[in-house]
Amino acid sequence: MTNYRESVAMTEVGPDWMVTSSGAHDFGLVVHYTTASALEAELRASGFDGAIELWDDRAGLPAGRARPQRLWWYFNVLARCSAVDGTA
């Protein structure tokens, strides 16, 4: 119950995303829920200009070969960005 009370205060809701606590692991996790298209927009806005790849939750198949995204509970993401000036 303590974890729930502490993590529920971190809840934020946007137009197509939400950050909130998860019942998994006794509310010890805070999860970013979003859609694939909203995630891509967030990544692009944050400077990720390279490939953005999604894999499904069951078989780890790339988005184009997996079952329809509306059936996914979650997805795995690989996103690349260019090096920032002054970093390697």
In sequence order, what E strands does the chain have? 12-13, 17-22, 29-34, 52-55, 76-79
H-only helix segments in 9-53? 36-45
Show me where the domains of the chain are located.
1-34, 35-88
Report pLDDT for 85.
60
Report pLDDT for 61.
87
Backbone angles phi, psi at 38, to 5 degrees: -70, -40
Which letter does DSSP use for residue 7 in this model? H
Per-residue pLDDT of the chain (88 residues; tens, 9 = 90+): 677 777 778 889 988 888 888 777 777 788 888 888 888 898 999 888 888 998 988 888 888 888 888 888 888 899 988 766 655 4
Report pLDDT for 13.
92
Report pLDDT for 67.
84
